[in-house]
């Protein structure tokens, strides 16, 4: 029975990572997986999710398209884990989606140009088809591109700051867990030291103030004391 229990516990600790599929929207999904007891990195969790995603998308009849991958290594009282965003989308659907995105981008660009023309003509008073009007459009285009780059840079900076904050929280959690483990070990060591001291201490002799009672009897002219306590 003990052998079966030990084998079951070992299998639980060394078991393979498994993934869970969650729905994010109508056509977007996320796979989350946790590594095994002996996994330091999240590589096995990521691989488990890739297999789970392949199986999931096979059921939809469309190949997987994996997007953002987030992962964390293991730590004190924490298993390695991974999160993968994905879609099940065929090559035809992907081409159609890219075409729709390109059309939307062109429409947005046309709207920006019309807005810039109105700004240069109405707000600044430049006549169309003049060098001043062209320079105005060029400056507005450059400003728009700079604003877009700044927006992307801020988004990337926010993502890095969020990742750094998450890392700080993990480190703080690890320190708390290690501190609790150290406190438990210190308490156990103190208890063991007290137990050893008690076991090795000599038995104290009876103090003079303590009375000793014995049973006396005469034997051959002498008095014999027995059952003393």
Query: pLDDT tens digits, residue range 142-154?
Result: 888 888 888 888 8
Host H or E run for residue 41 = none
Provide φ and ψ at 16, rounded to 5°: -75, 155
The span from the CA of 53 to the CA of 50, in Å, is 5
Residue 13: the pLDDT is 46
The pTM for the full model equals 0.47
Query: pLDDT tens digits, residue range 6-63?
Result: 434 444 444 566 789 999 988 899 999 999 888 888 999 999 999 999 999 998 888 9
Strand, helix or coil for residue 39:
coil
> What CA–CA distances, in Å, run from 96 to 68, 87, 100, 165?
21, 15, 6, 39
Torsion angle in degrees (nearest 10) through CA of 201, 207, 213, 215: 70
Q: Return mean pLDDT, the chain.
A: 80
Q: With CA atoms as reference, report the closest residue to 76 among 205, 5, 182, 151.
A: 182
DSSP one-letter code for 134: H
Helix, strand and coil percent figures for the chain, each rounded to 5? 60, 20, 25
Provide φ and ψ at 214, rounded to 5°: -130, 160
Q: Are 66 and 86 in contact (CB under 8 A)?
A: yes
173: Cα separation from own chain's centroid: 11
The span from the CA of 64 to the CA of 84, in Å, is 11
DSSP one-letter code for 208: T
Query: pLDDT tens digits, residue range 166-214?
Result: 777 777 777 777 777 888 888 888 877 777 777 776 655 555 555 556 6
- Site of tokens 């700051």: 161
């Amino acid at each position: 029975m003990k052998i079966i229990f030990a084998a079951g516990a070992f299998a639980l600790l060394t078991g393979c990572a498994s993934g869970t599929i969650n729905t994010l929207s109508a056509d977007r999904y996320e796979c989350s997986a946790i590594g095994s007891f002996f996994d330091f990195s999240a590589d096995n969790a990521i691989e488990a999710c890739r297999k789970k995603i392949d199986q999931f998308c096979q059921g939809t009849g469309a190949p997987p398209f994996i997007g953002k991958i987030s992962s964390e290594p293991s730590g004190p009282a924490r298993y390695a884990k991974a999160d993968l965003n994905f879609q099940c989308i065929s090559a035809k659907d992907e081409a159609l989606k890219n075409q729709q995105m390109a059309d939307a981008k062109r429409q947005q660009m046309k709207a920006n140009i019309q807005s810039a023309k109105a700004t240069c003509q109405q707000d600044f008073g430049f006549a169309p088809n003049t060098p001043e009007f062209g320079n105005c459009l060029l400056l507005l285009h450059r400003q728009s591109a700079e604003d877009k780059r700044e927006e992307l840079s801020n988004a990337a900076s926010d993502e890095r700051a969020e990742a750094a904050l998450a890392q700080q929280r993990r480190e703080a959690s690890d320190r708390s867990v290690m501190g609790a483990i150290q406190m438990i070990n210190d308490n156990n060591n103190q208890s063991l030291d007290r137990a050893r001291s008690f076991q090795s201490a000599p038995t104290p002799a009876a103090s003079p103030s303590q009375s000793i009672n014995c049973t006396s009897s005469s034997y051959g002219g002498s008095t014999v004391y027995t059952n003393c306590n």
